[in-house]
Amino acid sequence: GQQVMQIPQYQHVQEGEDFTTYCNSSTTLSNIQWYKQRPGGHPVFLIQLVKSGEVKKQKRLTFQFGEAKKNSSLHITATQTTDVGTYFCAGRRGYSTLTFGKGTMLLVSP
Amino acid sequence: DAGVTQSPTHLIKTRGQQVTLRCSPKSGHDTVSWYQQALGQGPQFIFQYYEEEERQRGNFPDRFSGHQFPNYSSELNVNALLLGDSALYLCASSLESRNTGELFFGEGSRLTVL
């Protein structure tokens, strides 16, 4: 079955440092979504990427979808304590449901 | 506009018991998906309901069953509970029948099996 892998599992940065999490799928995806889950909370949708090579930005967050549509990344510039949480990528093939990765937990120290 | 609501928020059961979790989707949404999230893991897809039928199912045993009502709300039932069923159960709603859009998650129901 489809597998979505994320690295790293965990990252601890100082406030102001950059952060990147990577997502790799075992199969070509139709689209990929990113979610953020705060500690004790539920996943909240951040963005969806659909096109090969697509790059989208949301303020300090930059999302990329690989040319082969099998990998993606999320980069946060100048992290803030409000960025703390676990970031999940979730991939979809055709009209199947989303398959989530295990997530990358981000800790930001002030 | 209410988002996705789930009940109960927390519950404790013993092995062998049965549990029913409930979900009301975001207003206007017609599709409900259920996910199991173990501690430190990503959400694992259980099944999805659309038009009161199970449309897709993940790799979960038949002990996990569900239902969708005409008002689009949904239930997740788990029979013969095992210790390994302890997890956060998330309900997610969406508005399309072709699985192309984002999911709106509820706060979840945290199940502890003793």
Task: Indicate the residue of B48, B103, B108 with minimum beta-carbon distance to A45.
Answer: B103
The band of B9, judged by pLDDT with boundaries at 50, 70 and 90, is: very high
The band of A96, judged by pLDDT with boundaries at 50, 70 and 90, is: confident
Span A73-98, mean pLDDT?
A: 94
Alpha-carbon distance of A103 to A96, in angstroms, equals 20
The answer to whether A35 and A87 have CB atoms below 8 angstroms apart is yes
pLDDT reading at B98 higher than 60: no
Name every residue whose Cβ is closer than 8 Å to that of residue A73 and which is 6 or more positions away in sequence. Answer: A20, A21, A22, A23, A63, A64
Span A63-72, mean pLDDT?
A: 97
Ranges A56-60, A88-92, A94-98, B31-35: which has the least confidence: A94-98
Question: How far from the centroid of its chain's Cα atoms is residue A65's Cα?
Answer: 10
B76-93 pLDDT tens trace: 999 999 999 999 999 999
The answer to whether A99 and A5 have CB atoms below 8 angstroms apart is no
Residue of A nearest to B42 (CA): A102
In angstroms, the separation between the Cα of residue B55 and the nearest Cα of chain A is 10
- More confident site: B97 or B84: B84
Ranges A32-36, A70-74, A92-96, B62-66: which has the least confidence: A92-96
Q: How many helices (H) and strands (E) does chain A have?
A: 0, 11
Question: How far from the centroid of its chain's Cα atoms is residue A84's Cα?
Answer: 13
Span A3-30, mean pLDDT?
A: 96
